[in-house]
Structure 1
Amino acid sequence: MLNLNDLVLFATAVESGGFAAASRRLGVPKSTISKRVAALEDELGVRLIHRTSRSFVLTDTGRDFHEHARAALIETEAAENAVRSRVAEPSGRVRITCGVPTAQEYLAPHLPALARAYPRLQVEVDVSDRFVDLVQEGYDIGVRSHFAPLPDSGLIQRQAAVERIVLLAAPAYLAARGEPSSPQALAEHDGLLTGPANGAWTLRGADGASAVVSPRPRMVANEGRVLVSAAVAGLGIAVLPEGLSRAETESGRLRRVLPHWDAGTVTTSLVMPHRRGQLPGVRATVEFLIECLAQKQGAR
């Protein structure tokens, strides 16, 4: 029977990128971690890691072993938490990954309340727009905003919010340029676009009609807050999620254009690896965030 502590040291070294980083993370001497991983390799009779003074790379067998070792540790953690959850509030570390706009607009307003609700929970948020493999990188929750359904990846998916993407402009812009009365009239207006290849907007009406229109490109930016600021400054018409622009519409700095038309919807979902999704701390975090995001959506 393998030593569970050796699995912990091995998995932490892999996920930290080396023995030195694992030593700092665990507070265990680097030499101890190295010796225990070597002993693990001896017991298995196979090399798990190619390591030199400059590199630390898993072998193919090591990658397979890490996947199963990580699953075993998660099951062990789940077993412990299943008992602890009966006598204590959610606790432990919960790792969340999300993109920059999602962090700013959806998580930042609610994380302080989450911390107050569960003081024994340690939440780690990694904000990055790169693709993150939740299973391989050891994340508990991924918060993803998407325009199309997420692919079937074997992850648990929980839909948190769906919001319309609407057309907005500053009152001063509309006063100067006139208010479009139909989607086709947008061709005579300045557009604030999300990318050079996104010059055409596909709109749908409340009656089921659809239209594809191309405004005059005025500014291109792939970040929503930049487009909000440009619209408030009166540079043109933008298509933006309702939630992203709610403060500006409620204050009157932006106004709906063609209110019976929209440019589709954006969905915010929470995704979790199956095993980690069963941990009490992860479940509590997911339910808390879904409730907060649902309330935000209902506040429209």
Structure 2
Amino acid sequence: MDLAALVDFITVARHGGFGRASRASGRPKATLSRRVAELEASLGLRLFERGARMLKLTEEGRALHERAGALLTELDETATAIASGGDRPRGRLRISAPLLFSQTAMGKLAAGFALKYPEVRLEITTEDRPVDMVEEGYDLVIRVNPAPDESLVGRAFLRDGLVVVAAPSLVYPAGGVVPAVVRGAPGQTRSWTMTTPTGRANLNIDPVLSLSSMTMVRDAVRLGVGAARLPLSLVSHDIVEGRLVRWGDVEGPETALWALYPSRRLLSARVSAFLDYLREAFPSGSAEELAAYVEK
């Protein structure tokens, strides 16, 4: 396989077209087109579907882009590290993180990491949707209870649980219905099952307020609007300070935060450094540890 042609193919795939790849690389558009055609001929495969206005990777092209692109990036990083006399983390590190973790801890983590590794250019985006790491160019994603994905590997670095909390002014109901603050649309749920010091209990609820983020829900609950199910890490200090009362623990699996990266890619120095930094920040990975980190 012609390595130069492979590099040209990766350039075109990353930029989404021959014209944009030509402008970004400074190489003639005709040369890029010829090189890609030669690569397709040598492989006996069509790597792009060519339309009048768009260029789209075929299934085979996507597989080659994912595997070869990552390897070429690692080769380039290795050569740069050797040329500079070391393997210090440097270059761009793109991370996608969920909303709540970003709001509570990611700013502090990012600042500390940037101070420790000044040669890394850290870029963090906040979104709860699943992202395609290869297509969207992320080096690392942080996700809550991610679905199994054979193309990604990683580990859980924080574990949390949901608790039912309310302001002290809201009386725990011996029976009947309690007003509730929920995240997102109320849905069909009209009761919460929880574990209390005296055993298992079902709490009948009336969703009086629906909000789009956990921090908004917590702020509303503090004012006595209703009870809510919230992560322990988000409300543990409110419970200790008496601003909220813990009514019980929500039954079900715990919430885990995972740091994920592509399994087919050699782990770069930047990603390794950030994973190590997460371990240093959360050695036990508990909800109380996250709460203490946020309050520092």
TM class, shorter-length: 0.7 to 0.9
Question: Relative to structure 1, is the Cα distance of residues 85 and 201 closer, same or farther in structure 2, using a 3 angstrom cutoff?
Answer: farther
Question: Relative to structure 1, is the Cα distance of residues 38 and 124 closer, same or farther in structure 2, using a 3 angstrom cutoff?
Answer: farther
1:204 matched to 2:203: no
Shift of 1:217: 1.6
Question: Relative to structure 1, is the Cα distance of residues 186 and 57 closer, same or farther in structure 2, using a 3 angstrom cutoff?
Answer: farther
Structure 2 segments unaligned to the other structure (5+ residues): none
Partner residue of 1:297 out of 283, 290, 294: 290
Aligned equivalents of 1:40, 1:152: Cα separation in 2: 30
Q: Percent identity?
A: 31
Query: Contact 1:141/1:271 (CA < 8 Å) preserved in 2?
Result: yes
Q: CA RMSD in A?
A: 3.3
Aligned equivalents of 2:182, 2:282: Cα separation in 1: 27
- How far does the alpha carbon of each residue in 1:215-247 deviate from its partner, in whole angstroms, 9 at most, with x for none? 122112342122122212321111111223356
Show the 5 A alignment for 1:8-157.
8-23=7-22, 26-29=24-27, 31=29, 33-77=32-76, 79-80=78-79, 83=82, 87-146=86-145, 150-151=147-148, 153-157=150-154
State the TM-score, normalizing by the size of structure 2. 0.79
Aligned equivalents of 2:165, 2:28: Cα separation in 1: 57
Question: Relative to structure 1, is the Cα distance of residues 150 and 45 closer, same or farther in structure 2, using a 3 angstrom cutoff?
Answer: closer
Aligned match of 1:185: 174
Aligned match of 1:282: 271
What is the DSSP-based 3-state SS (H/G/I as helix, E as strand, rest coil) of the residue aligned with 1:288? helix
Query: Contact 1:22/1:30 (CA < 8 Å) preserved in 2?
Result: no
Query: Contact 2:67/2:265 (CA < 8 Å) preserved in 1?
Result: no
Number of residues of Structure 1 aligned to a counterpart in Structure 2: 285
Structure 1 segments unaligned to the other structure (5+ residues): none
Aligned equivalents of 1:104, 1:57: Cα separation in 2: 36
Query: Contact 2:93/2:271 (CA < 8 Å) preserved in 1?
Result: yes
Shift of 1:81: 7.0
- How far does the alpha carbon of each residue in 1:241-297 deviate from its partner, in whole angstroms, 9 at most, with x for none? 122335655665x31232x53455321111111244621111101111232244743
Aligned match of 2:222: 232
Question: Relative to structure 1, is the Cα distance of residues 23 and 291 closer, same or farther in structure 2, using a 3 angstrom cutoff?
Answer: farther
Aligned match of 2:2: 2
Aligned match of 1:261: 249
Shift of 1:91: 1.3
- How far does the alpha carbon of each residue in 1:46-81 deviate from its partner, in whole angstroms, 9 at most, with x for none? 432123441111223322332332243255246547
Question: Relative to structure 1, is the Cα distance of residues 57 and 39 closer, same or farther in structure 2, using a 3 angstrom cutoff?
Answer: same
Aligned equivalents of 2:43, 2:108: Cα separation in 1: 48
State the TM-score, normalizing by the size of structure 1. 0.79
